[in-house]
Amino acid sequence: MQGHRAYVVTGTGQNPLLVVLTTGGTIASSLDSDGAARPNLGAAELLSLLPPMAVDLRAQEVLAKDSASLTLADMQRISDAVGAALADPQITGVIALHGTDAMEETALLVQLQHGPQKPVIFTGAQFASDHPRSDGARNFTDAVRAALQPQADPGVALAFGGQVMPVWGLYKFSTDAPDAFRRVADEGATISHPLPAPVSDLRVDIIAAHPGSDGLLLEASLAAGARGIVIAALGSGNATPELVAAIARARNEGAVVVVSSRVPEGLLSPIYGGGGGGHDMRRAGAIHARVLRPGQARILLAAMLANGCCETEIANAFEGTPDTVPQSRPA
């Protein structure tokens, strides 16, 4: 999609004005002649999903992609569109319609780059628009209502499956449940100041650890130009002695290595030794992601590298304890 097309739903002029950014995803998808769900609904069709509401909406098509195919440059484009909308003093809030595969990642990037003082609500769907269990209309409606609530918290949240959830520590836990997202733990963000620099040109990779893993993939990532690497480790952040040795080599070459986990919930604690445990990884120079799982850890690392943060700042962001604990709530 080249450029942006704007659709304006006019009202009385006295209603709150929300910007709706469409980016593709399942909420914008229907089955084509080959039986594949593809994002083919435009902004006007998506707005038609909403019931009558006391709100004025300005919709803008930013992308039309499945979120699994998004690049960091695509996420940056979405974040830039959110930032442009937030700069308009007439705007009450922003709704981003987004695919679920990478929703928590783009949402975190927006939070990190803008620290919005107005509500920014991400939502999407688990089922395509023509599926018998289509859930896009309900989620979209909940997102609009969340953005309009007088007590709506500023900043980025997800409205999905009947819940409104703060973005820090979110992960997608189900491929087919309507309430697709959960939080790793009830913890708030450790970053309170914006990190505005663009991440489009950075390479930050995720490498999965497994029993018997060596350093080959990590070394290939370095050779490809990665400035940061996230390890999707086992358990509370553990791997093999071979991977620990590769982490030490990566640190000697100047790359920042963050250890997350393939386990979906619980806080990480680098207490294990044995040559490949989290304690050994930390001694090799890795940073432990206390809360964030690999996808969001990659986004935070990219944002901090783009903004020239030092390693102490990066370690504090991943390993620190937040001052506040935002809670999920019903939509």
92 is in an annotated binding site: no
| Beta strand spans in the chain (E) | 6-9, 17-24, 29-31, 37-39, 56-65, 91-97, 119-123, 155-160, 163-166, 170-172, 181-183, 204-208, 228-233, 256-261, 287-288, 329-330
- Check whether 101 is labelled as a binding-site residue: yes
Q: Return d(Cα 81, Cα 94) in angstroms, integer.
A: 10
Cα 171 from Cα 103, distance rounded (Å):
9
67 is in an annotated binding site: yes
Q: Tell me the CA distances in angstroms from 305 to 117, 196, 197, 226, one per residue in order.
A: 24, 11, 9, 11
Which of the residues 22, 26, 123, 190 is marked catalytic?
26
**What is the spatial distance between Cα 126 and Cα 124, in angstroms, rounded to a whole number?**
7
Number of neighbouring beta carbons within 10 Å of residue 249: 15
Is there a catalytic annotation at residue 12? Answer: no
Write phi, then psi, for 119 (nearest 5 degrees): -70, 135
Strand pairing partners for 95? 20, 121
Sorted by sequence, the CB contacts under 8 Å of residue 42 that are 6+ apart come out as 5, 22, 28, 61
The Cα 85–Cα 114 span in angstroms is: 11
Calpha distance 231→209 (Å, rounded): 7
Contacts of 242 (CB under 8 A, 6+ apart): 213, 214, 215, 276
Binding residues for substrate: 67, 100-101
- Annotated catalytic residues are 26
